[in-house]
Structure 1
């Protein structure tokens, strides 16, 4: 079995995936908040 050495794995892809997930989550939250505000102003 291979010996584990902390900090040697290339995690570039995982970091990019996480950054994309965070960006998507923030944009989705903002879109939901905008929709709620518009619904509140329209009175639906």
Structure 2
């Protein structure tokens, strides 16, 4: 690809994408942990 000289805008877009991905992974991990804890609780309650 040709260098268009717009590296600052590309870096900002990359940072926004990475921050969105990190937030999604963080909340996804929290959600999975909560569901797993609920399942363990429901299984152990019997």
TM-score, normalising length from structure 2?
0.70
**What does residue 14 of structure 2 align with?**
13
C-alpha RMSD over aligned residues: 1.5
**1:16 and 1:35 mapped to 2: Cα distance?**
28
Unpaired runs of at least 5, structure 1: 1-8
Question: Deviation of residue 15 (structure 1)?
Answer: 0.6
TM-score, normalising length from structure 1?
0.73
> Which segments of structure 1 move beyond 2 Å, counting only runs of 4 or more?
none
Unpaired runs of at least 5, structure 2: 1-7
Could you say which structure has the higher helix fraction?
2
